[in-house]
Chain A
Amino acid sequence: MSKRVALLGMPNTGKSTLFNRLTGASARTGNWPGLTVDLLAAKLPLGADLAELVDLPGIYDLHGMTEDEHVVRRFLERVPVDFLVVVLNAAQIDRQINLLLQVKALGVPMLAVLNMSDEAKRFGVSIDVARLSAALGFPVLEVSARRAEGLDVLRQAIAGGLRVANSMSQTALALRLAPDETVQDEADALLRMAVKSPRELSDGMSAHLDRVLLHPLWGLPIFFLSLFLLFQFIFTVGAPLQDAVAYLLDGVRNAIVQPVAHVLPPFGEGLLIGGVYDGIATVASFLPIIALFFIVMSAVEDSGYLARAAFLVDGFMARIGLDGRGFVLHLFGMGCNVPAVMGTRVMRSPALRALTMLVLPFALCAARLQVFLFLIAALFAPSQAALVLFSLYVLSLLAAVLTAVVFKRRYHAVEPVILELPPYRLPQFTSMFKSAWNEISGFLRRATQFIVIGVVAIWLLTHLPWGVEPSSPASFAGQLSAAVGFIFAPLGFDPLLGVALLFGFIAKEIVLGGLAVLYSVSEEGLAGAVQQHMDWVQAYSFMLFTLLYTPCVSTLAAIQVEGKSWRLTMTSVVWSVGLAYAVSFAFYQTARWLGY
C-alpha cells in the first residue's frame, strides 16, 4: 500500500498550485477561498517510491467551525495519514504560524513549507528558516510553487519523513483534535526569535492599483468596463476560431463520416449523421469561445481582482440579502452554474446559501451563450449583435436581483462577511490553460453522455413513427408539439422548438443541437432554416425563455446535493419556469402590440 501525504494550509497560500507542481495533476487552482471543495488526490512521485498526495481544503483554524474546517477534521480523524505538509504564505507568517502550531500539536510527522518566499521578500519580511526549524523540531523549507523553486528539496524531505513510521493511532489523533488550547504565546515567541518584518507592511504595487481600482466612485465603473472589454476580446478572437472549427467539422462530415455511415441502412445513416454528428458538431463549434472564456476567467481569478469586485459590490448585495461572495460566484456561474452552486460552500448560513443558490442559475452560462450566439448571428444584423447579447446579460442580472428581492424574506440570513484581499498577482499560463482544458474535457464528457442522448432522442422523435416525413405533424415530435403548442403559442415561437426546450432541460447545449436536428439540416444551412421559421421578435422571445427557464439537470442536482432540500430545488424550478414564461409572454405580446 502506498503511503499517504496530506497538504494542509490556509486559503491563498498557493496550496493548490503546489499540489499541481508536485503531482503534475490538473487540479483546479484558484485564488478564491473554498473553491477547492472536493478533496483532490493524486500520485506523488518521490524518487523510486510513489505516495499519494491529498489536497485538503484551505482552512484558517484547525478547531474552527466552517464547513471546510469540519471536513479537514473529519478527514484527519477517519483517514490514516503518514505525513503532513503544512503550507504557509511566507509573507503572512505572522498570523499563519498559529495554524502550524495547531497542527504540530497533533503529533503526526510533518514539515512546513514557506511558500511565496519571493512575495515575502517584496514585503520586507525575512525569516530565519534554520532557527525556526530547530525550534519547531521538523524541517521548514522555502519554496516558490509559482516559479517551481525548491520542489526537489521538498520531495526529498517528504521521502525522508516517510521513512519514519507514523506511530499515532487514529483514536489518539481524534483525541488530540478535540482540545483547543491557545498557541498564541508559543507563536509570539517563535516570531520574535526567527522573523523580522517592517512595522508598516504593504506591497507598493497592490496599494497603488487599489487606489485606482477600489476608488469609491470609479471602482465599479472600471470593473464593469474591464468585464465588458474582456467579453469583447473573447468574441473578437473567438468568432474566427469558431468559423474555422465549424468549417473543419463540416469537412470531416463530408470526407469521413458520410462515406463511413453510407454502409449503414438509411435509418442508421440518418441517425448517425443527422442526429449524432450534426447535433454535436453544432455544439462543438462553440468550443473555442468557451475555452477562451475559461482562460480569461481563470486569469482574472488568479489576479486577485475578483475579491476586489466582491468588496466593491458588497454594499449593494447586502441590500438584496446577499453578499459580495455571491456576486463573484455569479461571475463564475457565467462559465457553468454547477461549480458556482458548489462554491456556495464558503457560506455558513443555510439561508444565505439557499438564497444564493436560487439566484445563481440565472447567470448566463456558456451553454446558453452558444444558443444565443447562434440565434443572434442568424437573425440580427452584425451591428446589433453585441447590443442584443449585452441586453441578455443585463436581463440575467436583473432576473437574479429580482429573485433575491422576492425571496430574501424567506431566506433571511445575517452572516459575517470577511474576505481576504490578496496582493495582485500575474496570472500563470499553466493554470490558465489547465483550467480551460478542464472545461473542454468536461464538455467532451457531457457531450458523450447528455448531449448525445438528447440529440438522438430528438432525432428519433422527429423521424418516428417509421416512414414519416421528418419533423412533419405526423412525427412524434409533431404530435408532441401539437399537444403542447397551446402553451408556447402566446410566447410566439414555433411549437417544434418546445421539443428542443423540453430536452434542453437535460443540458442547455441540447437546445442548439436540437435546433439542428429538428430543422434537419447541417450546421451550415441551419441559419437559413432558422430564418425561415422565425423573425427577430420570436427569436428574442425564445432566447428570453431559454435564458430564464429551469436550471439544467446538472445544476438542479448540485442544488439538491448542496441544499439538501426538495423544497428549495422545486422552488428553483417553479420560480424560474414561471419567470421565463411571464417575461417571454410580456415581451412577445408587447412587441407585437407595438407593431413589430
Chain B
Amino acid sequence: MKLSCLRCGESASVTCVEGDACLVRRLHALGVHPGRPLNVVRRAAFNGPLHLRVGSTEFFLRAREADAISVQSLV
C-alpha cells in the first residue's frame, strides 16, 4: 500500500520506492529503501507535509512525494 495510507504514529516496512530518479536517490540517501522500517510521526495542517522517521533521521516530505513510497505494515 501507499505510504499516504498510514495514520500518524504508525510504522511500516518499505517495500518499494519508485518515481523520479532524483527523488528516489534523495530518499535512498535519507535511508528510505526496501526493507527499512519507517514511521509516520505526524502530518502538518492544511494538507501539509508528512513528518517521517527512518532510523535516527527525521525529515518531512509532501503527500505527493510520499506516494512514491510503498510500504507493508509491520505486524
- Write the residues of chain A forming the contact surface with B, with a CB cutoff of 8 angstroms: 10, 60-61, 63-66, 91-92, 94-95, 98-99, 123, 125, 184, 197, 199-203, 206, 210, 214, 216-217, 219-220, 310-312, 314-316, 318-319, 324, 348, 414, 416-423
Contact = CB atoms under 8 A, between A and B. Distances in A.
Given A65-B25, A197-B56, A417 B44 contact: no
Contacts of A422: 58
From A10, A123, A316, A418, name the one whose CB has the most chain B CB atoms within 10 angstroms.
Answer: A418
Given A94-B56, A421-B59, A421-B60, A315 B44 contact: yes
A202 B42 contact: no
Nearest to B41: A210
B68 to A, nearest CB: 8
B62 A417 contact: yes
Contacts of A201: 53, 55-56
Interface string B44-61: 111111010111111111
In which size bucket is the chain B interface?
Answer: 35 or more
A418 B59 contact: yes
A415 to B, nearest CB: 9
Contact of B55 (A99, A197, A316): A197
Interface string B20-39: 11110111111101000101
A376 to B, nearest CB: 34
A92 B26 CA distance: 15
A92 B56 contact: yes
Nearest to B31: A95
A418 B31 CA distance: 13
- Residue among B47, B49, B51 with the highest chain A CB neighbour number at 10 A: B49
Given A201-B53, A214-B42, A312 B48 contact: yes
Contacts of A202: 53, 56
Contacts of B28: 61, 98
Contacts of B41: 210
Nearest to B35: A188
Which among B23, B31, B55, B64 has the highest number of chain A CB atoms within 10 Å? B55
Contacts of B48: 311-312, 314-316, 318
